[in-house]
Amino acid sequence: MVLGVIGCGKMGSALVTGAVRSGVIKPEAVYGMDTIPAAVSHFTAETGAHACDSLVQLAAACDTFLLATKPQDVGPVLKDLAQALQSKPALVISIAAGLKISTLESYLPENVRVIRTMPNTPALVGQGASAFSPGSRATAADSVATSALLSSVGLALEVKESLLDAVTGLSGSGPAYGFLMIEALSDAGVRCGLPRAEATQLAAQTLLGAATMVLQTGMHPGALKDMVTSPGGTTIAGLAALEKNGLRFALIDAVTCATERSIELSNPS
């Protein structure tokens, strides 16, 4: 794989940094291009990749492309990429939110395969939760390559495209829910007498530890919850307060609303 990154912002840089660090790809096999020169300079300095001045130069050097531009810029970029590739076989991995595979494929000739992905911002610290869906022309090898790229910065799951809106509502928007819970737990700690810095550290580490236990043990979250909950103890008192105030429904409703909004954005008509 020789990877061309179109859009050298934070997410593109995070994915390439993770892939290089994990050995999925060598920095000399990565090229980056962006309309903002400073973004390219930062990208190459951070990853060790090469810089390209144009899509024509990028297309000549690469066989796989990470489309990391803003959604509104995708159409013109893919039209130019299609012309630059001509009959050259290639794979385009898109992280552009809300753009369907059929839309992406409509800009590209049949020699270009497409995989649509939905990463999330914790990929910036190597703890991402991503999902991807292969297009009609994508091969099994394309899925393996995409999984390796996304797995280098966290969890990567292959799903049907029809589920990517739910992925957006859950893991795409989910970091914001987690940050809000950490902030609220920190506020509670401060209310109960803890200094702010210590309260925030304890809150963040507690959620990180709980998540790690779910992933490493494979146990149902409810079973792990019960392990912490002794009869008549402090935890059941806290859980009763959460149920009384509707935390469970609030989270379910948040994911549902975010999913519905993702559907609206991907169907603007």
Q: Note the pLDDT tens digit of each residue in 99-139.
A: 999 999 999 999 999 999 999 999 999 999 999 999 999 99
Q: Note the pLDDT tens digit of each residue in 221-240.
A: 999 999 999 999 999 999 99
For residue 269, what pLDDT is reported?
A: 59
Contact 119, 150 (CB under 8 A): yes
Residue positions counted in the chain: 269
Residue ranges of domains in the chain, CATH in brackets: 3-159 (3.40.50.720), 172-266 (1.10.3730.10)
Residue 190, classified by CB atoms within 10 Å of its CB into exposed (0-12), middle (13-18) or buried (19+), is: middle
State pTM to two decimals. 0.92
Average pLDDT over residues 166-172: 96
Provide the H-helix boundaries in the chain. 10-22, 37-47, 55-61, 74-85, 101-106, 140-151, 164-167, 174-191, 196-217, 221-228, 234-244, 247-266
Please compute Rg for the chain using Cα positions.
21
d(CA 56, CA 6): 12
Residue 66, classified by CB atoms within 10 Å of its CB into exposed (0-12), middle (13-18) or buried (19+), is: buried
